Amino acid sequence: MKKFLFVVLVVTTAAFAQQQPTLKIGYVNSETIIKELPEAKDSQAKLEGILKGWQEEIEKRGAALQTKYEEYQKQSNMLNESSKQAKQKELVEDEQKLNQYRQEKQQELAVQREKIMKPIQEKVFKAIEKVAKEQKLSFVLDRATEVPVLYADPQFDYTFKVLDMLKRGSK
């Protein structure tokens, strides 16, 4: 009786599997793709240039604030209480301005990154879609995202096919 049930189960499973469409899953590493694209490299260099200028300005302002603080410390013994409070208030305001400038530049960098990278990401997504259709994939996962892929057989990695397509200039 157990053998009969096992055979029925195997036959039923095989028949069900034949009726279902084939499910084919592939994956890519979008970080690798984007790192390899010349326009992405150019964009990253542009963003780093912008960031470098801002960092230099932040460091310059920070050094000026540090110098002002050191001068205050040297003079504090000679200042009356109201002068001390005025200098302390000025130092606190300067530090707040520096922090505000830093936050504004971080927000501006995020906006610039989005603006610069969006067309590149769209190009990559179109190439991934085209490769997926050519390879008859049902799903393409991205190993670079925070969604974990617990196992991925390397034969289904289409990262380099997408890169090849992009480098050949196919749209």
For the four alpha carbons of 106, 112, 117 and 118, in that order, the dihedral sign comes to positive
Q: Which two tokens stand for residue 114?
A: 């989005």
- Whether 77 has a pLDDT exceeding 90, the answer reads no
What is the 8-class DSSP label of residue 155? Answer: G
Q: Beta-strand (E) ranges in 50-164?
A: 139-142
pLDDT at 149: 66
Q: Report d(CA 53, CA 109) in Å as an integer.
A: 12
pLDDT digits over 110-169, tens only? 999 999 999 998 998 889 889 988 988 888 888 888 866 656 777 788 899 999 999 888
101 neighbors 61 (Cβ within 8 angstroms): yes
Mean pLDDT, the chain, integer: 83
- Alpha-helical segments (H) within 20-80: 30-36, 38-75
Q: Considering only 42-56, 58-72, 142-156, which range has the smallest mean pLDDT? A: 142-156
Name every residue whose Cβ is closer than 8 Å to that of residue 137 and which is 6 or more positions away in sequence. Answer: 24, 25, 26, 131, 158
pLDDT at 160: 92
